[in-house]
Amino acid sequence: MSAPNNRAVILGGNRIPFARSNKQYSKATNLDMLTSAIDGLVARFGLAGENIGEVSGGAVLKHSKDFNLTREAVLGSALSPTTPAFDLGQACATGLEAVVSLNNKINAGQIESGIASGVDSTSDAPIVVNDSMREILLELTRAKTMVQKAKIASQIRPAYLAPQAPTTGEPRTGLSMGEHQAITAAAWGISRQAQDELAVASHRNLAAAWESGFFNDLTTPYLGVSRDTNMRPDSTVESLAKLNPVFGKKLAAEATMTAGNSTPLTDGASSVLLGSEDWAAEHGYTPLARLVDAEAAAVDFVDGAEGLLMAPAYAVPRLLARNGLTFDDFDVFEIHEAFASTVLSHLAAWESEEFCKDKVGLDKALGSIDREKLNP
């Protein structure tokens, strides 16, 4: 009898088209979108009624009622209600961490299959009462008589009634992600033209992928939307050059980040099916890929000189070293395009001998990435 093959493989994925915040999905909740993304995956792989080993997922912005968001999405989906699920969070890496966690569980033999997922909506951002109003409401719940309640209620001031929406600022610095990245872009000397060129290529590559049918087995329509609404394939470097900067306008250096070379706030949800090689074979699924390894890093963006979004500059060298790889060993590189300058700052860091020696501890620069292989 042969030994079981627990090695995890990626079998496929599904997402709903991404939409600009407060537009097409303005009335959809995180739960709505996540359930739809999972159901699309379930339908594609014929998993209705199946008991999957585990479902992982999460969102950066969550309502308090969504304390068990992923489990609720499972209960609302066509999966068996006995499928366990859990939430996790790691800012922008939440979805990726969901994949890593299930991949590791499958490799360890804890589960045979899993669905990793992620969702976010700034349209459905939690809006709460301010702290002063919250304190009064809590006092009201403790009051025992109408006189006590009336006395507490009399403390309410008009300003307390103003709702408090989440901000885009980092709690420790008060700066938005865009303002943080503007500092990084200036520090690395990332030019406006280089950012605009990368942004134009990004839009054109995405449009070409849609036209070629690349997303046909990766997406399912949602609320009448069948394609990503953020695409601007008609953008040119010349048209982007006419836009005014939106981040870094208070810096000493020239502001270079515009709405055209920065990613807008977006609503969407995605899911990925993983399984052991044995489980895949039993169900007749063809493995697409394996997640061989992963690495996380963190930087001191509060008191240190590191940029908020520069952690991958440290994680990638460690990941490559552990696996005995160099950039020359890869055919495709996917770097998250939070902002065009984020991608370019990382490329510059890995090409910098000073950074790689002083910050990463290498004996030379990590190397250059072939632009033809970058985010194709």
Distance CA 301, CA 311 (A): 10
177-214+245-264+295-373 maps to which CATH number?
3.40.47
Q: Running DSSP on this structure, what letter comes out for residue 255?
A: P
Distance CA 220, CA 240 (A): 31
Q: Which residues of 306-333 are buried (b: 16+ CB within 10 A; e: fewer)?
A: bbbbbbbbbbbbebbeeeeeeeeeeeeb
Query: What is the bridge-based pairing of β-strands 19-20 and 266-276?
Result: antiparallel
Q: Running DSSP on this structure, what letter comes out for residue 118?
A: E
Quick one: pLDDT band at residue 265, thresholds 50, 70, 90? very high
Tell the burial category of 250 from Cβ atoms under 10 Å away from its Cβ (0-12, 13-18, 19+): exposed
Among the residue ranges 91-95, 126-130, 317-321, the one predicted with the least confidence is 126-130
Average pLDDT over residues 17-32: 96
Q: Running DSSP on this structure, what letter comes out for residue 290?
A: -
Average pLDDT score, the chain? 95
Residue 136 scores a pLDDT above 70? yes
Quick one: pLDDT band at residue 297, thresholds 50, 70, 90? very high
Average pLDDT over residues 282-291: 98
The pTM for the full model equals: 0.93
Matching CATH number, 8-122+266-283, of 3.40.47.10, 3.40.640.10, 2.60.120.200, 3.40.50.300 = 3.40.47.10
In the chain, pLDDT over 70 holds for what percent of residues?
A: 99
Task: Name the 3-class secondary structure at 103.
Answer: helix
Quick one: pLDDT band at residue 233, thresholds 50, 70, 90? very high
Domains 8-122+266-283 and 177-214+245-264+295-373 share a fold: yes
Structure token pair of residue 267: 């609503």
Average pLDDT over residues 21-43: 97
Residue 3 scores a pLDDT above 80? no
Do 107 and 6 meet the contact criterion of CB atoms below 8 Å apart? yes
Q: Domain residues of the chain, as ranges?
A: 8-122+266-283, 131-161, 177-214+245-264+295-373
Per-residue pLDDT tens digits for 236-263: 999 999 999 999 999 989 999 999 999 9
Query: In the prediction, which pLDDT does 2 show?
Result: 54
In this structure, the number of other CB atoms found within 10 A of the CB of residue 28 comes to 21
Distance CA 116, CA 95 (A): 7
Residue 97 scores a pLDDT above 80? yes
Nearest to 118 by CA among 206, 256, 45, 13: 13
Residue 1 scores a pLDDT above 60? no
Average pLDDT over residues 135-163: 92
Average pLDDT over residues 292-298: 97
Distance CA 193, CA 256 (A): 9
Per-residue pLDDT tens digits for 163-220: 887 777 899 999 999 999 999 999 999 999 999 999 999 999 999 999 999 999 999 9
Residue 320 scores a pLDDT above 60? yes
Average pLDDT over residues 143-167: 90
Residue 30's contacts (CB-CB under 8 Å, 6 or more residues apart) are 59, 61, 62, 63, 66, 69, 119, 120, 121, 124, 269
